Amino acid sequence: MKKILLVEDDKGIVNSLSLLLNKEGYEVEVAYDGVEALNKFKLFNPDLVLLDIMLPEKDGWEVCKEIRKISNVPIIMLTAKDEEVDKVLGLKMGADDYITKPFGAKELLARIEAVLRRYQSDLSKSQKIVAPPFEMDLVKRTVKVKGKEVNLSYREFEILKLLLSSPGRVWTRDMIIKHIWGENFWGEPRAVDVYIRWLREKVEDDPSHPKYIITVRNLGYKFQEGNEDKQD
């Protein structure tokens, strides 16, 4: 049974959509404001989010942005406005689709099915990264080094995924921050160095003499297959 998080502050709409989705075999969890939505997203672990834009506490734009920091789960935005600028903004924030109220039951169900189908197809195409001695499962979010599983934090995992995705490519601190933290990061670029140190402590045989996560002096970091060209 697929799980849908419905984020909507209109109780009438919530009741009608919940009945519809339950009838179609979906498990539904409801949040009535943006803060509750983010909390329930982490607890409920949905397969898809139906997200209204005009919400109390945090609006739908902000909720979408926060979810995208931690997950690629499909998001369909719900809005009373049929304006091109809103649709473009929603898609830039990371939404997968956009539906304008009022909408018919058949249209909504078709959008949900199409988005879930695309998402599952994307997962099947790119759910693992294998770059010896690393193996990453992007769905289960697990990492193995030489066959042994290691536990990484969310950002450690994302940094390693970025490095392994392009062996030998140099990633500057600014590039890593943009990909992992986003455009609105206000901290110190040296935060990247801290996460790299923590990552090395978990995946390198000797963190003081790394073989895989290599510092490129005055530039940034890269993933080096094998043990050549090592620098600390």
- The lowest-confidence range among 85-94, 96-105, 111-120 is 85-94
CATH classification for the domain delimited by 2-123, as one of 3.40.50.720, 1.10.3720.10, 1.20.120.350, 3.40.50.2300: 3.40.50.2300
Contact 85, 42 (CB under 8 A): no
Calculate the alpha carbon distances from 209 to 57, 128, 164 in Å.
48, 27, 19
Cα distance between residue 65 and residue 48, in whole Å:
15
For residue 9, count other CB atoms closer than 10 A to its CB. Answer: 16
**CATH 3.40.50.2300 in the chain, residues?**
2-123
pLDDT band at 229 (very low <50, low <70, confident <90, very high): very low
The encoded tokens of residue 181 equal: 């933290």
pTM: predicted TM-score of the whole model, two decimal places: 0.55
Residue with more model confidence, 79 or 204: 204
Helices (H) and strands (E) in the chain, counts: 8, 12
Q: Which of 31, 73, 70, 72 is nearest to 52 (CA)?
A: 31
Residue with more model confidence, 36 or 166: 36
* Residue bearing tokens 């739908």: 60
CATH class in words for 128-223: mainly alpha
Predicted confidence at residue 87, as pLDDT, reads: 60
Predicted confidence at residue 232, as pLDDT, reads: 42
Residue with more model confidence, 123 or 40: 40
pLDDT band at 102 (very low <50, low <70, confident <90, very high): confident
Does the structure show a pLDDT above 50 at 167? yes
Section 65-76 average pLDDT: 88
**CATH 1.10.10.10 in the chain, residues?**
128-223
Section 76-103 average pLDDT: 75
